[in-house]
Amino acid sequence: MEVKTSLLDNMIGVGDMVLIEPLSEDTFIENLKKRFDHNEIYTYIGSVVISMNPYKSLPIYTAEKVEEYRNRNFYELSPHIYALADEAYRSLRDQDKDQCILITGESGAGKTEASKFVMSYVAAVCGKGQEVNKVKEQLLQSNPVLEAFGNAKTVRNDNSSRFGKYMDIEFDFKGDPLGGVISNYLLEKSRVVKQPRGERNFHIFYQLLSGASDDTLKKLKLDRDFSKYNYLSLDSATVNGLDDAASFRTVRNAMQIVGFMEDEVQSVLELVAAVLKLGNIEFKPESRCNGFDESRIKDKNGEFCSVHFNYHSYHLFHGFSFIFLFLQDNSFEQFIINYCNEKLQQIFIELTLREEQEEYIREVSNSQYMKTNRKWSSLNVCNSNIIYVADFIIVVILNPTTVYHNAENYFSGLLIHLSTILVYICPLHVFCCLTVYHSLLNVVYVVMAPPTAGFQFRASVGTLMKNLLTKNPNYIRCIKPNDKKAAHIFTDSLVCHQARYLGLMENVRVRRAGYAFRQPYEPCLERYKMLCKQTWPHWKGPLFFLEEKRRQCLEDLATLIQKIYRGWKCRTHFLLLKKSQVVVAAWYRRFAQQKKYQNIRSSALVVQSFIRGWKARKLLRELKHKKRCEEAVTTISAYWHGTQVRRDYRKFFRANAGKKIYDFTIQRIMQKYFMGLKKTMPSMSPVDKSWPARPYGFLDGMHQDLRRIFHLWRCKKYRSQFTEEKKATYEEKLAASELFKDKKALYPSSVGQPFKGDYVEITKNPKYQKLNSLVEDKVLLADVVSKINRANGKGAPRIFLLTKKSFVLADQKTGQVKASVPLLDLSSVSVSTQSDGFFALKLKEGSTSAAKGDFLLSSDRLIEIITKLHRIGAASADRNQINIDISDEFLVQFKQDKVCVKFIQGTPKNGNGVACKRKNNRLLEVSVPSP
């Protein structure tokens, strides 16, 4: 049986800072450093967890670790974030106490990762089921979406959260998650339009340009080049360790899991694209003689739109003598973020230190406690007066001149003093946020603006603080060991600074001064509250009597519950029987009425058919009689008109005879021409270019048009006889022509060879049944190729299998798989211009298969293999285009080394074949016979 590691067994340093001896700042930091050097990144201060960011992956978050800390006492095992998560979850599930976990620390200290570990642990230990799993997956997949739109690379952290996040998860009585609500606090919107040097914009912009397909970017009218957008910083656009393309695919998948519809996802991407394009708008002022400035911008059609501003409407700002720039080093948003952190620190002090202080005051009157705790109380100072000052504003937006003159009208004869102005620059416009007028009579004229960012933030933070105070708090204090974001580096001064402003030493002193365990008196009697109001909360009798009364009460309650449940069950069964009887009766009545209606309907149809038949026959006889009468009249009329025409024709024959003869002659010539074409029609083969000669010159245009039309019709008839398989074969041949015609000397000999695909009969050959079963997709090509050895240039036979997703190389004799590479990892294929069959499959740098190196192969069916590879890449969903490089000299990556493959014309020693020989460690020379 596996032995669990307790808090004291084989402990490195001190796992709980409450037990450290002697207690000083030096021993505190030294203990953290000692544990950090041995990859012990978690340390306790009582129930508070200190988390050191290791800046590397540690094997302490496995499924086995989850089971190890599940349903265990908090101090039973070594410190871990799972212990705190389990304690909070069990308190919620078993004691019905609302829990909150506060994760605080500097940027880069690991707060985001800590929240993910807590979420993953709760998701692992709660119940299972289709709906529960769906809710858990949605909660977990919300992180990639929030990080894409709210995280950015800063100088301190490559994945810094630029917003506050409060996730409220609702659980049922079994402890299973029912859903969740995520509240965001103060997103750093100013980062969209401007980023400090060395920092990036939000991840989503880079992910969209790197990971979206060409078709998506075309629809959004975007370009992959970051340099074309003013809102994207170029000095740090690429971050080591961040794959923006893969992250974009993860975000798209996460949005679908969370519940975004496809049109909603498209709308979000369109909004992101719009922000990028708005950053490229340029304003060009042009001075005008009438006192106005004209700002011109281009619209999407390339036309100029003009926006006019009154120059004199802003003259008020030139008279200011005092301008206070708010927070020179940090933005206003960063100031509010710091303010929020201080409020959370205040909560920590309030719940962790002051409650202990008040408990000590109630229990022990000790002057030393009072003196020490006075210092703790001073930490509660988090003044928000500056937020209130920022909200005390006069908005001068539409026309400040009007406000100024109105003020003069109201306070005529009084001296108006300008006291303060705060100008805050917001993205795509300018808001004047503070102007206060004072008079000699101490009268203030204030025009109140809509709720400001500071007001909204203060209200939301106040709601957050009230919410947190109603829950049982659990704390994770995150510390970053160094500013270099590197593993195995512990900067004592930096850690000491964080420990001081987090109040960790004071927390240790409070824990050491108090009791190790304290159970309130009233919850002890909570057990007997059910008996009667007289026993709560003033009972002073023997405890065993209360236990007997409680047991009897529980039995009575159990009997009552069983009675109610059985009654409910019987009534439910009765209601189901009643409902079934009503349904059966309704269906029977419906069936009877339908049958009766069908009988009546069939009878009515028979009667109607006889009546309609009789009427139709009568009408037919009348129509026949009418038709015979009309035919007789028509015949008589035709003879009479014929007589009249012949009479007129004889009268005017001589005048119109020439034109009649000409028209008749042309008609006969055309008739003879068409009859001749019918007799001398060429074959139906599209390659037959024969066509009968024209008999007369004036038919030349029509003769050529008929030839073209007949050829098109003949080609259409010929194509209609093709099967889908034959069409695919001809399309591959056409693709091969586009790739290799006049570029590869081997191509002409491959034109007459059909593309068979399976040359080893892998589906029929029993020798390769196991190999065929290992391939998941349909095999598009199976052939024997030669894998070229870099050491001596000799080839080893391999079975080459190609599917829509990967290619596989296997041993020819045993069928054992030697290599399996996804086509997504394939970047290009290199071949020579000669008549050889050598080709190199080159893998993408940084891909999962890149460590194996490139593959140098030789095959007589090179044209077919590369054509299929190119068509598969072009037809894939992510448009993984595989480039074809045709050159007599190219490089091949063999694991860590690059080797040059060079093709020369000559006569190999072994006859007319192609020979490959190693010249040195960096050169393979291939001798190809001269044409």
Rounded to 5 degrees, φ, ψ at 574 are -65, -45
Annotation-wise, does 439 bind a ligand?
no
211 is written with which tokens? 């990971």
Separation of first and last alpha carbons in the chain: 75
Cα separation, 865 vs 874, in Å, equals 15
Residue owning tokens 């270099």: 484
Residue owning tokens 């000699």: 440
Burial of residue 106 (number of CB atoms within 10 Å: 0-12, 13-18, 19+): buried
State the Cα angle at 777 between 776 and 779, rounded to 5°. 115
| Secondary structure class of 295 (helix, strand, coil) | strand
Rounded to 5 degrees, φ, ψ at 426 are -110, 160
Cα separation, 733 vs 867, in Å, equals 8
Rounded to 5 degrees, φ, ψ at 56 are -165, 165
Annotation-wise, does 745 bind a ligand?
no
> Is the separation of the CB atoms in 761 and 783 below 8 Å?
no
Rounded to 5 degrees, φ, ψ at 255 are -65, -40
CB hemisphere CA count around 837 (13 angstroms)? 18
- The continuous run of DSSP H or E covering 808 comes out as strand 806-811
Cα separation, 804 vs 584, in Å, equals 55
User: Could you count the other beta carbons within 10 Å of the beta carbon of residue 497?
Assistant: 13
Cα separation, 238 vs 125, in Å, equals 38
Residue 47 CB contacts under 8 Å (≥ 6 apart), including other chains: 74, 84, 87, 474, 475
Cα separation, 177 vs 198, in Å, equals 41
142 is written with which tokens? 């919300």
User: Smallest Cα–Cα separation from 782: which of 808, 801, 806?
Assistant: 801
User: Smallest Cα–Cα separation from 779: which of 769, 789, 788?
Assistant: 769
Cα separation, 5 vs 77, in Å, equals 6
Cα separation, 394 vs 416, in Å, equals 15
Residue 85 CB contacts under 8 Å (≥ 6 apart), including other chains: 101, 117, 118, 121, 122
Annotation-wise, does 105 bind a ligand?
yes
Annotation-wise, does 106 bind a ligand?
yes
> Is the separation of the CB atoms in 421 and 318 below 8 Å?
no
Annotation-wise, does 109 bind a ligand?
yes
> Is the separation of the CB atoms in 895 and 881 below 8 Å?
no
SS3 of 613-638: HHHHHHHHHHHHHHHHHHHHHHHHHH
Binding-site entries: 105-112
Binding-site entries for ATP: 105-112
